[in-house]
């Protein structure tokens, strides 16, 4: 569905990604993992065609053929790929329904307002993520988890075949996170390509078909969960001792952390230590 | 997740919001029409209200009653009504432009004067006054002054866009900075003109303070095309302002060509500002207060905000202008910009205080 070929990009003079290649398959959930500042958010922006590339290309399946994501007009891009951002910087408090209806912007005329069909699609999307009751609520008067689900509803309303999510479970409680990933699995089951940046290794192992690990702006490791979810790989990428054991119900692999082990198992060019904080995609010294 | 039965409840709730919008818009529109007529009652020449209404009716094509003084018709229709219409249009244009600038710059305290377009218009007008060409007739009874002001507004916009464009992109931060630079520079040039020519100081100062004195249908005709074009552009692209207010990355992810949308909206708002300034001088506060108040009543969605702000801004300036020409005795006038600032300043403080208290701050 989406294929990145040796993508290099960054912000200003700071290059963040140094030649990332990956394939996001339709009909599956791909987990994008890696330590803080490894370039996950940047990669999502590059895949969505928002961030200009310094090199490489992003190819997206469109109308039976393949198109260069960065050469497409914005409206066509938005009909192919929908994004769920990590957070929202709202200048003014718009209503939740307005946010979700924005997902329909690429479908109607660029100058017209949303029509009845758009409202229906928005309502269905909000029902699917369980935030229908927030329709008229200002978006600054809902909780972080609710806003996250409103933004997911917006991406669903966009009805794009590919879905890029940036840590969608970050502000969700456990039950909501499980519901979210059940929903994502359902979407993948109906043929969508889902790429989800996340921190929780165990949710990733439970719900993803394939995993891509980024480290310092490069793909450290990628493949189906059973091929990459190993103690050595994980310990090396995250720079701390990680053990893998079976899930008590599904039997799939789950990661267990060892207290006080951070820094012990790091490979060359050790990642940031614990408590380093997330400098975000604009972290100054990443990937030099 | 939630049951499907809630769908209908929602439709009603969504409807509740619309039910709040349209009555408010209709109320303001009716108030505007009534105010236009009421404004014609006020003036230094005492004309009985019945006769004023009869004159207005006659102007609208109703059969004129007997015993109407044709001299009064000139006062009511050509002086008072034209000025009231111009005040309303100017206020509406400033409020619309304020809505756009606040949306584009992500700043509820931005106004049509933030990015220097109005200073450009003021500079153009000052040049015309400085060279004594202000009254030079160029277009159907309109002097060179408004034309010069319009040219100044667009020269300033051009400079702001040229300065604010970084790597082919028109960014919010750079536009603000470029606007401040251009406004400061042009402000200095206006001061220079004032210093160079003692004689034109008074007219420049008076014009810059903003006034609708002596304006008539010719000025309405001059500014109306710009008001219409700018207003339509703004209302058509109002939804894009919603997207832009989430930041460029999100707007683009949702399918908006953010740079183009911003440029188009900037152009529309500048058309409105330039036309308003060219006929009325620099009238402050309307473009700041109107969108701000309406946003608190209706929410931040830009399409209803734009429409209702325009109506509110029109009303605000219409009554400010009535006050400006009736407060002083013997037909003396205050600059309307002084009235809006005198009314708007304390009022705005009150609103901010109340909101701060409401938020528990």
Nearest chain B residue to A151 by CA: give it. B250
Residue B175: predicted pLDDT: 84
Q: Which of B2, B103, B253 sits opposite A78 (nearest CB)?
A: B253
Rounded to two decimals, what is the model's pTM? 0.85
Question: Would A54 be classed as within a structural domain?
Answer: yes
B254 to A73: CB separation less than 8 angstroms, yes or no: no
- Hey, where are the domains in chain B? 38-66+92-99+110-358
Question: Would A197 be classed as within a structural domain?
Answer: yes
pLDDT at B327 over 90: no
Question: Would A95 be classed as within a structural domain?
Answer: yes
Question: Would A47 be classed as within a structural domain?
Answer: yes
- Report chain B residues whose CB lies below 8 A from the CB of A159: none
Residue A170: predicted pLDDT: 83
pLDDT at B138 over 70: no
Nearest chain A residue to B299 by CA: give it. A94
Question: Would A244 be classed as within a structural domain?
Answer: no
Nearest chain A residue to B7 by CA: give it. A123
pLDDT at B231 over 70: yes
B357–chain A Cβ distance below 8 A for any pair: no
Interface of B with A in 243-262 (CB under 8 A): 243, 245-247, 249-250, 252-258
- Report chain B residues whose CB lies below 8 A from the CB of A79: 255
B297–chain A Cβ distance below 8 A for any pair: no
Question: Would A245 be classed as within a structural domain?
Answer: no
Interface of B with A in 73-92 (CB under 8 A): none
DSSP structure class, residue A86 = S
Q: Which of A45, A93, A132 sits opposite B2 (nearest CB)?
A: A132
- Terminal Cα distance for chain A, rounded: 31
Topology at the third CATH level for domain B38-66+92-99+110-358:
ABC transporter involved in vitamin B12 uptake, BtuC (1.10.3470)
Arithmetic mean of pLDDT, B11-39: 76
A179 to B247: CB separation less than 8 angstroms, yes or no: no
Place of tokens 């866009």: B161
Q: In A39-50, which positions are buried (b, 16+ CB within 10 angstroms) versus exposed (e)?
A: bbbbbbbbbbbb
Nearest chain A residue to B17 by CA: give it. A136
Residue A162: predicted pLDDT: 95
Q: Regarding predicted confidence, which is higher, B63 or A211?
A: A211
Least confident piece of the model among A282-286, B27-31, B170-174, B296-300: A282-286
Residue B75: predicted pLDDT: 85
The CATH number linked to A132 is 3.40.50.300
C-alpha count within 13 angstroms, C-beta hemisphere, residue A35: 27
CA distance A31 to A29: 6
The helix (run of H) or strand (run of E) holding residue B33 is helix B6-39
B7 to A127: CB separation less than 8 angstroms, yes or no: yes
Question: Would A254 be classed as within a structural domain?
Answer: no
Classify burial at B310, counting beta carbons within 10 Å of its beta carbon; exposed 0-12, middle 13-18, buried 19 or more: buried
pLDDT digits (tens, 9 = 90+) for B73-93: 888 888 889 999 999 999 999
B242 to A123: CB separation less than 8 angstroms, yes or no: no
C-alpha count within 13 angstroms, C-beta hemisphere, residue A156: 26
- Terminal Cα distance for chain B, rounded: 36
Q: Which of B254, B255, B300 sits opposite A94 (nearest CB)?
A: B300
A94 to B16: CB separation less than 8 angstroms, yes or no: no
Least confident piece of the model among A66-80, A265-279, B137-151, B266-280: A265-279
What is the CA angle B48-B49-B55, rounded to 5?
95
Residue A163 CB neighbour total at 10 angstroms = 25
For B283-349, give the DSSP string: --SHHHHHHHHHHHHH-S-HHHHHHHHHHHHHHHHHHHHHHHHHSSSTT----HHHHHHHHHHHHHH
pLDDT at B262 over 70: yes
- Report chain B residues whose CB lies below 8 A from the CB of A158: 254
The helix (run of H) or strand (run of E) holding residue B10 is helix B6-39
Query: Count of domains in chain A?
Result: 1
CA distance B240 to A105: 9
B7 to A132: CB separation less than 8 angstroms, yes or no: yes
Question: Would A60 be classed as within a structural domain?
Answer: yes
Task: Please tell me the distance in Å from B119's CA to the nearest CA on chain A.
Answer: 26
What is the CA angle B177-B178-B181, rounded to 5?
90
CA distance B102 to B111: 7
Nearest chain A residue to B237 by CA: give it. A111
Alpha helices in chain A (DSSP H): 40-47, 74-80, 96-101, 116-128, 144-157, 174-189, 201-207, 225-228, 231-238
Query: Hey, of A110, A121, A125, A150, which one would you mutate to test binding to chain B, going by the most B CBs within 10 A of its CB?
Result: A110
Range(s) of the domain holding residue A100? 2-229
- Residues of chain A where predicted confidence (pLDDT) is lower than 70: 263-288
ipTM for the complex shown = 0.84
Residue B242: predicted pLDDT: 93
- Report chain B residues whose CB lies below 8 A from the CB of A113: 239, 303
């Amino acid at each position: 569905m989406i294929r990145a070929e040796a993508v290099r990009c960054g912000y200003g003079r700071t290059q963040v990604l140094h030649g990332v290649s990956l394939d996001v398959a339709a009909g599956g959930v791909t987990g994008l993992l890696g330590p803080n500042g490894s370039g996950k958010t940047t990669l999502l922006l590059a895949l969505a065609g928002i961030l200009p590339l310094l090199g490489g290309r992003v190819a997206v399946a469109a109308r039976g053929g393949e198109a260069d994501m960065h050469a497409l007009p914005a409206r066509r891009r938005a009909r192919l790929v929908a994004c769920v951002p990590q957070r929202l910087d709202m200048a003014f408090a718009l209503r939740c329904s307005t946010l979700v209806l924005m997902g329909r912007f690429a479908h109607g005329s660029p100058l017209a307002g949303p029509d009845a069909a758009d409202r229906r699609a928005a309502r269905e999307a909000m029902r699917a993520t369980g935030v229908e009751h927030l329709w008229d609520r200002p978006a600054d008067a809902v909780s972080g988890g609710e806003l996250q689900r409103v933004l997911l509803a917006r991406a669903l309303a966009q009805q794009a075949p590919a879905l890029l999510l940036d840590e969608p479970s970050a502000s969700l409680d456990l039950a909501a996170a499980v519901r979210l990933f059940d929903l994502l699995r359902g979407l993948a089951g109906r043929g969508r390509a889902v790429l989800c940046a996340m921190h929780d290794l165990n949710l990733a192992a439970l719900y993803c078909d394939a995993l891509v690990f980024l480290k310092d702006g490069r793909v450290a490791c990628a493949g189906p969960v059973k091929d990459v979810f190993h103690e050595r790989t994980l310990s090396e990428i995250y720079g701390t001792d990680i053990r893998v054991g079976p899930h008590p119900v599904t039997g799939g692999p789950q990661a267990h952390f060892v207290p006080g082990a951070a820094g012990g198992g790091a490979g060359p060019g050790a990642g940031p230590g614990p408590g380093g904080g997330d400098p975000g995609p604009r972290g100054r010294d990443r990937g030099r | 997740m939630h049951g499907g039965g809630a769908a209908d409840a929602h439709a009603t709730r969504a409807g509740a919001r619309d039910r709040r919008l349209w009555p408010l818009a209709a109320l303001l529109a009716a108030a505007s029409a009534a105010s236009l007529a009421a404004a014609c009652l006020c003036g230094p020449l005492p004309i009985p209200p019945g006769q004023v209404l009869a004159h207005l009716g006659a102007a609208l094509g109703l059969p004129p009653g007997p015993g109407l003084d044709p001299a009064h018709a000139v006062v009511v229709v050509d002086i008072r009504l034209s000025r009231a219409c111009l005040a309303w249009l100017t206020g509406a244009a400033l409020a619309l432009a304020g809505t756009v600038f606040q949306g584009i710059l992500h700043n509820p305290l931005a106004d049509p004067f933030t990015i220097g377009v109005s200073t450009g218009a003021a500079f153009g007008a000052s040049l015309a006054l400085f060279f004594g060409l202000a009254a030079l007739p160029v277009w159907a009874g309109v002097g060179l002054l408004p034309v010069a002001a319009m040219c100044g507004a667009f020269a300033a916009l051009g400079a702001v866009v040229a300065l604010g464009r970084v790597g082919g992109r028109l960014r919010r931060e750079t536009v603000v900075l470029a606007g401040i630079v251009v406004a400061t520079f042009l402000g200095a040039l206006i001061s220079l003109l004032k210093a160079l020519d003692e004689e034109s100081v008074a007219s420049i100062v008076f014009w810059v303070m903003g006034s609708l004195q002596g304006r008539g249908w010719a000025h309405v005709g001059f500014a109306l095309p710009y008001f219409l074009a700018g207003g339509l552009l703004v209302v058509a692209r109002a939804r894009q302002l919603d997207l832009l207010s989430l930041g460029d990355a999100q707007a683009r992810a949702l399918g908006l060509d953010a740079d183009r949308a911003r440029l188009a909206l900037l152009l529309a708002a500048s058309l409105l500002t330039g036309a308003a300034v060219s006929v009325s001088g620099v009238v402050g506060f309307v473009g700041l207060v109107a969108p701000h108040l309406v946003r608190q009543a209706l929410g931040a969605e830009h399409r209803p905000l734009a429409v209702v702000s325009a109506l509110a801004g029109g009303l605000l300036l219409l009554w400010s202008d009535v006050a400006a020409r009736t407060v002083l005795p013997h037909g003396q006038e205050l600059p309307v910009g002084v009235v809006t600032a005198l009314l708007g300043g304390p009022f705005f403080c009150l609103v901010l205080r109340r909101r701060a208290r409401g938020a528990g701050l």
